[in-house]
Structure 1
Amino acid sequence: MSTDTETSTAGHPGAGAAFIELDRLEKVFDVRRRTGFLRGERRQVRAVDGISFRVERGEMVGYIGPNGAGKSTTIKMLTGILTPSGGSLRVAGIDPSRERTRLAHRIGVVFGQRTTLWWDLPLRDSYRLMHRMYRVPDARFRANLDRCVELLDLGELLDVPVRQLSLGQRMRGDIAAALLHDPEVLYLDEPTIGLDVVSKAKVRQFLRDLNAERGTTVLLTTHDLTDIEQLCSRVMVIDHGRLMYDGALAGLHEVGESERTLVVDLERELPPIRLESEPSVRTVKVEGPRQWLAFPASASAAPLVARIAAEYPLADLSVREPDIEAVIAKMYARERPGEPVT
């Protein structure tokens, strides 16, 4: 694995260069809007507004926020697709916009619902093209492909044209394609979208093993907080192009005062559940034998489930994660925009 780095320490005096380093990064777009016949106006939109952060080699970091927050724009600058309007960034010591081709051999990217596979070709042929494009040694390519096929359950899909794959199948195919050349950093945009519960578990385990065995750095954008909980020790929240939070997921829940929802199906219709020993738990909705209970997202659901099972005739239950947009909205109301929460 290459160790090419630079000694840039922008924004962090006295510190060594991180594997990924952004310093007051900005991206401004000029947008034209028609205001009448043959008339229009131009305005500037700050998609990314002075973001600074560092990611060390081997970290798995969640990069989350509502739609339009600036996540994809950041990723596109990190890959060299877009050139920053201001500030600076380095990935493995490389300026992405100046040395995009050199950087391409060291990164892997999965852009949500935009495939990197060839639409009319079978998966196998797409992978062969990747093999040639990245000049991957034959033995290494075969070993990487075999591993991805086994762990992502792609064996029966290799001869199927990409256009005939379901969204979940294609996502698994895209993840494999992004890893065939052994990238040092992997950018993932909604990697479990369209997957069933079993497939999600396989993808998450695959990513954990990849990080543990090869030290691959992962930057993950997702709306599924379970992805973040199971994969990332650190989460960054972006909104309106600004970094709102950088820290542990538990800290995010505390700052945003977010709540999980426990959906309880009782054997029969009963009055709202009340637990004297759990004052932070409240029943927010009742429909027949089904009840919805809200509790702090930073708390474990296990004691609550055990208490309900002991005191009520329980038929079934499920836990719903907090909506990230709601968490960020509460953060935004409490903090001044542009000041990261710590």
Structure 2
Amino acid sequence: MIEVDRAGRSFTVGRGRSRRTVHAVQDLSFTVEAGEFVGYLGPNGAGKSTTIKMLTGILAPTSGRIEVAGLDPLRRRTDLTRRIGVVFGQRTTLWWDLPLKDSFELVRHLYKVDRNDFRRRLDELADLLDLSGFLHTPVRQLSLGQRMRGDITAALLHDPAVLVLDEPTIGLDVVSKAAMRAFLGRLNAERGTTVLLTTHDLGDIEKLCRRVMLIHHGRLGFDGTLDDLRALAPGEDSIEDVVTHLYTAPPAER
């Protein structure tokens, strides 16, 4: 469902003699099969957001090749939007001053979703995510947890094959976070939706992901199961401790 083959993305920064090239992503290769739920981890500045922007057609790779759902994200970006859903935890795709339900109606028009399919999916998602109590509330009046449920719903109304999540539980309280994790687990298990998750909350990873990839300094440093990851630092008690060890250990110890 996702194929990345030796992809790279470089940026030129500075002016005049101070110009230099920054390699945000370098020689990155991985595949994600249909129905997988994969965690994509890395410290700030590691290249996670750049990868997501290339996968969704926002940025063009400066080297290598990328395909998502069989499409080149840059050349077929409009077609790709009908196959993927994207949620950025720190940015909303909803209309701030409109009632939540009106935002969903606009999403329906943008994606050209059949009205009957839209009603069926919205009823299903409203039930699963418990939206009924605030469907008519303006987005600006929603709590963070309610808004995140709205953003997830908006990303799924066109029934995408791939869901890309960037920090979907950031700032949520314990109850909202547990509800979000339960929903995403069901979505993957029951609908077979392929999910790529980036997060700094390693509780999300432990609860949801069977496979984890770690990126550091723009390069893929690990790709395997949680058990494989734990085996890299057997003296550490938690996944958070393991990942912290891998990020901070000298290169010879990684």
Q: Does the alignment reach a TM-score above 0.5? A: yes
Task: Determine if contact 1:49/1:241 at 8 Å carries over to the other structure.
Answer: yes
Task: Determine if contact 1:21/1:54 at 8 Å carries over to the other structure.
Answer: yes
Q: Secondary structure at the match of 2:71?
A: coil
Deviations 1:170-228 (A, max 9, x none): 11111111000000000001111122222222111111111122211000001111111
Task: Determine if contact 1:256/1:331 at 8 Å carries over to the other structure.
Answer: no
The 1:323–1:209 alpha-carbon spacing in structure 2 relative to 1, beyond 3 Å, is same
Please state if 1:142 is matched with 2:83.
Answer: no
* Aligned counterparts of 1:96 and 1:212: Cα–Cα separation in 2: 26
Residue in 1 that maps onto 2:104: 127
* Aligned counterparts of 1:124 and 1:130: Cα–Cα separation in 2: 10
Residue in 1 that maps onto 2:253: 334
State the shift of 1:142 in Å: 1.1
Residue in 1 that maps onto 2:210: 233
* Aligned counterparts of 2:223 and 2:196: Cα–Cα separation in 1: 13
For residues 128-277 of structure 1, the aligned pairs below 5 Å read 128-257=105-234, 259=236
Residue in 2 that maps onto 1:27: 9
Task: Determine if contact 1:63/1:220 at 8 Å carries over to the other structure.
Answer: yes
- Give the aligned residue type for 1:129: L
Larger radius of gyration: 1
Deviations 1:16-42 (A, max 9, x none): xxx110010000011116xxxxx6621
Deviations 1:271-326 (A, max 9, x none): xxxxxxxxxxxxxxxxxxxxxxxxx337xxxxxxxxxxxxxxxxxxxxxx538444
The 1:258–1:197 alpha-carbon spacing in structure 2 relative to 1, beyond 3 Å, is farther
Task: Determine if contact 1:223/1:324 at 8 Å carries over to the other structure.
Answer: no
* Aligned counterparts of 2:141 and 2:252: Cα–Cα separation in 1: 45
Identify the match of residue 241 of structure 2 among 322, 330, 336.
322
Gaps of 5+ in 1: 1-18, 34-38, 260-295, 299-320, 336-342
Q: Secondary structure at the match of 1:322?
A: helix
Gaps of 5+ in 2: none
Q: Secondary structure at the match of 1:89?
A: strand
| Greater fraction strand | 1
Q: Secondary structure at the match of 2:232?
A: helix
Identify the match of residue 238 of structure 2 among 297, 301, 306.
297
The 1:326–1:115 alpha-carbon spacing in structure 2 relative to 1, beyond 3 Å, is farther
Q: Secondary structure at the match of 1:97?
A: coil
Please tell me the root mean square deviation across aligned C-alpha atoms, in Å.
1.8
* Aligned counterparts of 1:118 and 1:138: Cα–Cα separation in 2: 20
- Give the aligned residue type for 1:247: G
Task: Determine if contact 1:65/1:325 at 8 Å carries over to the other structure.
Answer: no
Report the identity percentage: 63
Q: Secondary structure at the match of 2:98?
A: coil
- Give the aligned residue type for 1:144: R
Please state if 1:96 is matched with 2:73.
Answer: yes
* Aligned counterparts of 1:323 and 1:251: Cα–Cα separation in 2: 11
Q: Which has the higher contact order (CA 8 A, sep 6+)?
A: 2
- Give the aligned residue type for 1:297: S
- Give the aligned residue type for 1:48: V
* Aligned counterparts of 2:249 and 2:234: Cα–Cα separation in 1: 7
* Aligned counterparts of 1:331 and 1:97: Cα–Cα separation in 2: 37
Identify the match of residue 34 of structure 2 among 57, 68, 71.
57
How many equivalent residue pairs? 254
The 1:331–1:53 alpha-carbon spacing in structure 2 relative to 1, beyond 3 Å, is farther
Please state if 1:72 is matched with 2:13.
Answer: no
